[in-house]
Amino acid sequence: MVAEKFTIAIEDSDEAFTCSSDRNVLKAMEQLGRKGIPVGCRGGGCGVCRVQVVGDGRYRTGKMSREQVPVDDERQGICLACKLFPEADLRLKVLGRWQKHFITGMNPEAA
Amino acid sequence: MSFTGVMRPGHAAIRVLDMDESVTYYTERMGLMKTDEDDQGRVYLKAWDELDCFSIVLREADSPGIDYTGYKTFSRADMDELVGKLEDYGIDIEWIAEGELNNCGERARFQTPSGHSFELYSEKKQIGDGLGRTNPNPWPEGLKGMQVYRFDHVLLYGPNIIETTKIFTDVLGFDLTERVLTPEGEMNVTFVSCSNKAHDLAFVEYPEPNKLHHVSFMLMTWEEVLRAADLMSMHDISIDIGPTRHGITRGRTIYFFDPSGNRNEVFCGDYTWYPDREPITWTAEELGRAIFYHDRRLNENFLTVVT
Ligand code: FES
Ligand SMILES: [Fe+2]
């Protein structure tokens, strides 16, 4: 069976790319050289690639860190892009914590 | 013999999301050997050059990260003495019964102000490296994957690392080998050694407690680090950065991730530490070079991707 291809659009940006149903969204983005979702561990552990599926696009997810995606979040369509497999075209809102750690001297922009 | 007290990092207990996938990764790819499994479903692994029966314990859980790191003391008397010192310092000890981990003696567990759990223990069954102690061959045949020699150290992220580091240096007899100073002159990265390795443990100041940055395994040569990187591409293992060099410890290294997103490292070639050396200091302006000697700048992932 040939995997179906879907369009992944990133909210608040012009970024859009295709992803097949057997590939996770983060990997599809990286392999096409596209940007928009922060990339961390690629294993569902670190939460850096957190996104929210907006609208009613269907999707599957692999096993994700509960600490990063609590049950309530998951019900609201929040998931980790590295464990997200599309089953329809999807619109994603990026939540990834590019949280800055302004520990003095540890800010990469200043370093 | 001059090597007593805390000898080495003896085990790390790691949480994984999927046990089968993780065991395949740690055995076939990393090259550890599965030596045991207990009735809680925890899996015990060792590297080939370690004599004790395990150094990594995997536990399936709904979030990855590290449960605790265990340090082996030379003798039970050394352990009891160090536990006494910890208690005098005001640290609570939780005793974990012999056999709670298969083939491991009693463990004295304590928490650091960084939110991490550590253990001291003195007994663990030795099963050897398959080469014996009489006229041994230099290495065993049939090793898999990256063929790591041993579990070497962990780097942990959490708050209060100055206080935390003091427990290791002032109470447990570790030496501070390297540190990074903020412009205000405060330490926010510390490397400590209980042996004559450049580090047996490291901390980075971070707002969230009890975080794992990486679990590291030792290789002997740069060629072996390159070969490990090749295996990562062959098996689509997520690479973080490298192969490259650290300024701190001089290690030649590659960072990558296990299937649950826990960062691992394989490295070779740090220096020999002696206790008459002064610690190395890195200044905030040179932090990029300290961490990644060739890139010479920090990346977001080093600072924010933890489990
Ligand atoms: S990149 Fe770490 S959870 Fe997706
Ligand atoms: Fe390391």
Rounded mean pLDDT, B99-122: 98
A105 has pLDDT over 50: no
Contact at CB, A106 and B258, closer than 8 angstroms: no
Residue B102 has pLDDT above 90, yes or no: yes
Percentage of the residues of chain A whose pLDDT score is greater than 90: 77
> What amino acid is encoded at B144 in this protein?
K
pLDDT of residue A1: 65
Q: Grade residue A107 by pLDDT with cuts at 50, 70 and 90.
A: very low
The mean per-residue pLDDT over the stretch A13-29 comes to 95
With contact defined as beta carbons under 8 Å apart, do B48 and B143 qualify? yes
* Site residues for ligand 1, CB cut-off 6 Å: A 26, 39-42, 44-49, 80, 82; B 261
Q: Which helix (H) or strand (E) holds B165?
A: helix B161-166
Can you give the pLDDT at residue A103? Answer: 40
Helix locations, B206-295, DSSP H: 222-234, 287-291
User: What value does the mean pLDDT take over residues B151-168?
Assistant: 98
CATH class of the region A5-97: alpha beta
Residues B175 and B283 in one domain: yes
pLDDT exceeds cutoff 80 at B275 = yes
The residue to which tokens 């898999």 are assigned:
B144
Residue B104 is classified by DSSP as B
The yes-or-no verdict on residue B277 having pLDDT over 80 is yes
Contact between B33 and B45 under an 8 Å Cβ cutoff? The reply is: yes
Q: What is the pLDDT of residue B302?
A: 86
* Size of chain B in residues: 307
**Under DSSP, is residue B225 helix (H, G, I), strand (E, B) or coil?**
helix
Cis check: omega of the bond before B207, within 30 degrees of 0: no
In a domain, B132, yes or no: no
Higher pLDDT, residue A12 or A92: A92
Closest by CA position to A67, among listed B20, B296, B15: B15
A100 has a pLDDT exceeding 60: no
Could you tell me if B255 and B198 lie in one domain?
yes
Q: Chain centroid to CA B258: how far?
A: 15
Q: Are residues B93 and B217 in the same domain?
A: no
Residues B138/B53, Cβ–Cβ less than 8 Å: no
Beta-carbon-side half-sphere exposure of residue B207 (alpha carbons within 13 Å): 8
The residue range of the domain holding B79 is: 6-121
Domain limits, chain A: 5-97
Q: Stretch A25-50: mean pLDDT, rounded?
A: 95
Note the pLDDT of residue A41: 97
Count of positions (residues) in chain A: 111
Instruction: Look at residues B70, B101, B121 and tell me which one is the last residue of a structural domain.
Output: B121
Residue B137 resides in a domain: no
How large is the average pLDDT for residues A28-44? 94
pLDDT confidence of residue B69: 98
Tell if the CB–CB gap between A108 and B303 is shorter than 8 Å: yes
Our count of domains for chain B comes to 2
CA pseudo-torsion sign B267, B270, B273, B278: negative
d(CA B14, CA B147): 20
Reported as a pLDDT band with limits 50, 70 and 90, residue A99 is very low
In the sheet that holds A16-20, the strands lie side by side as: A16-20, A5-10, A90-94, A50-54, A78-80
Task: Tell me: ipTM over 0.95.
Answer: no
pLDDT of residue B94: 98
Q: CA of A100: which chain B residue's CA is closest? A: B304
Q: What is the mean pLDDT of chain B?
A: 96
Positions of B marked catalytic: 153, 199, 214, 246, 255, 265
Specify the pTM: 0.95
Query: Nearest residue CA, atom 3 of ligand 1?
Result: A44
Predicted confidence band at B18 (pLDDT cuts at 50, 70, 90)? very high
Percent share of chain B, pLDDT over 70: 99
Is the pLDDT at B151 greater than 80, yes or no? yes
Last-in-domain residue among B76, B102, B121: B121
pLDDT at A98: 54
* pLDDT at residue A110, rounded to an integer: 37
CATH at residue B172: 3.10.180.10
